Amino acid sequence: MNAVVGRGTYVKAAVNHGKMMQPTTDHKGCCASAKTGQASCGSKAGQGDLPTEIWEKVKDHPCYSEDAHHHYARMHVAVAPACNIQCNYCNRKYDCANESRPGVVSEKLTPEQAVRKVLAIATTIPQMTVLGIAGPGDALANPAKTFETFELVSKAAPDIKLCLSTNGLALPDYVDTIVRSKIDHVTITINMVDPEIGAQIYPWIFFNHKRYTGIEAAKILTDRQLQGLEMLSERGILCKINSVMIPNINDDHLVEVNKAVTSRGAFLHNIMPLISAPEHGTAFGRNGQRGPTAQELKALQDACEGQINMMRHCRQCRADAVGLLGDDRGPEFTTDQVMKMDVQYDLEMRKAYQKRVENERVSKAEACQKELEKLSGEISAITLLVAVATKGSGLINEHFGHAKEFQMYELSTCGAKFVGVRRVEVYCQGGYGEEDRLSTIVRGIRDCHAVFVAKIGGGPKSNLIKAGIEPVDQFAYEFIEKSAIAWFRSYLDKVRRGEVQHGERGDAAVPLRISAA
């Protein structure tokens, strides 16, 4: 599955993956291969195999820890409007409050306004633990504003973790400043390590007072990115690599990128689907370049998993996003509103709140572990996907009709593994559902065997059943993983007793905008 022979391999791998494999006598309990086998719960609330000093850095960072993203929030401040490269998937002129994708913001902030906003949000949303600067241009193409903001925030709110995102072109020049500023997480967007491929993604870069184009530009960019990554790794800064998966341009190549960044000490690799529509006005949008399907994306992520953790919970958020990853509260905090707020930064209140969150995480992990133990005797080769409607905290606590996204879990005798997110348009608008939207949602989760919800109306319920997806509401407001494992055990029982014929679900023909996980 790892070997990439040619295009389409991933798709085949994805299909095979879900299939009921030949039952073998030695397949017992959890699969030994770490490829797809890691359940997301563990005795230490998500720590898994991580060394303690690394876990301390990521345990409350929603982007660096999948487990943390159910409980903790992040915010971006848009203090860095300038960029030093041009990407074919980016259009800097576009700004719409309803649009969620990187590079998009509603208003620029000065460092002083940014700090004010951070303090206001830290007080309103005490589970906000991370401040990132991710543009809307490039954090390091605006070094004065970026580092001034970090300095002011670290003085005013020393408990908040600092991180930044960059395309890496200027990175080697600022590694020492990053260390001095106590930034312990850096995300570098690396889409290629081959300049010929890079030339199809980056029309130009601006470097050393000169505009470079084509292969020459891509060569400089990749050299600087990899050099910057090595320098950060040497200094113990955790690096996440973002890669945009662009079918027929870098999809196969991202396996090479994965190896290159892994060998240079990257901590996490986040392969994201290209977001591309003509109305975005990007070069790729205009020339009809498509994004990958959900299955192509998952297959590539699976192929890259092994040596490095793969991030699958990215929401490709805006450069001014606020809140839990799936729930952007940015519009509540415009500069006007923030300036009017009376803010008293209360560190004790934040600590007390976060203590409660930690207790909740421990209960969640214990419940999951207990349920997992019941599964330990099971022998089955069945692997299937389920969708979960949640508002956060690791609970099944969202109504089907109100869900803006579904979290995807892969269930097997290894347990429940988080494998991604599917965004959907909200089905229920003002109390009544719209049939078109409903069928879009059903198509969007067609590869699932069940959908877990806090509540669901009669209409959607029968539509789901008709489509072969079981609506499950008996675990309302309970922990996701524990419930999913409990349901999976009863599913296996039913299959064994012959009450249910286990069959494969089709490929979810997910429309582009919905597949943006």
Binding site for another protein (CB under 8 A): 81-84, 86, 92-93, 108, 136-137, 141-144, 147, 170, 173-174, 177, 206, 209-211
Which runs of consecutive H residues, i.e. helices, occur in 169-290? 171-180, 195-198, 214-234, 254-263, 283-286
CB closer to another protein out of 55 and 204: 204
Shortest approach of another protein to residue 206 CB, angstroms?
Answer: 5
Closest CA to 64 of 186, 228, 227, 149: 186
Shortest approach of another protein to residue 81 CB, angstroms?
Answer: 4
Task: Dig out the tokens for 78 from the structure.
Answer: 């848009």
What is the residue whose two structure tokens read 């347990």? 415
Burial class (CB in 10 A: 0-12, 13-18, 19+), 495: middle
Shortest approach of another protein to residue 442 CB, angstroms?
Answer: 40
CB closer to another protein out of 92 and 402: 92
CB closer to another protein out of 181 and 187: 181
Beta bridge partners of 406: 422
Rounded Cα distance between 333 and 94, Å, is: 20
| Contact of 30 with 415, CB cutoff 8 Å | yes
Shortest approach of another protein to residue 26 CB, angstroms?
Answer: 58
Q: What angle do CA 464, 11, 510 make, to 5 degrees?
A: 35
CB closer to another protein out of 79 and 388: 79
CB closer to another protein out of 84 and 293: 84
Shortest approach of another protein to residue 409 CB, angstroms?
Answer: 40
Task: Dig out the tokens for 86 from the structure.
Answer: 């041009």
The SS3 call for residue 301 is helix
Shortest approach of another protein to residue 107 CB, angstroms?
Answer: 10
The SS3 call for residue 251 is coil
Task: Dig out the tokens for 61 from the structure.
Answer: 């960072």
The SS3 call for residue 163 is strand
What is the residue whose two structure tokens read 């959607």? 460
How would you list the strands of the sheet with 210-213, edge to edge?
85-86, 204-207, 210-213
CB closer to another protein out of 210 and 466: 210
CB closer to another protein out of 9 and 181: 181
Beta bridge partners of 166: 188
Rounded Cα distance between 12 and 204, Å, is: 35
Does a cis peptide bond (omega within 30 degrees of 0) precede residue 136?
yes
The SS3 call for residue 236 is coil
CB closer to another protein out of 96 and 362: 96
Shortest approach of another protein to residue 177 CB, angstroms?
Answer: 6
CB closer to another protein out of 210 and 340: 210
Shortest approach of another protein to residue 316 CB, angstroms?
Answer: 20
| Contact of 311 with 66, CB cutoff 8 Å | yes
Shortest approach of another protein to residue 328 CB, angstroms?
Answer: 22
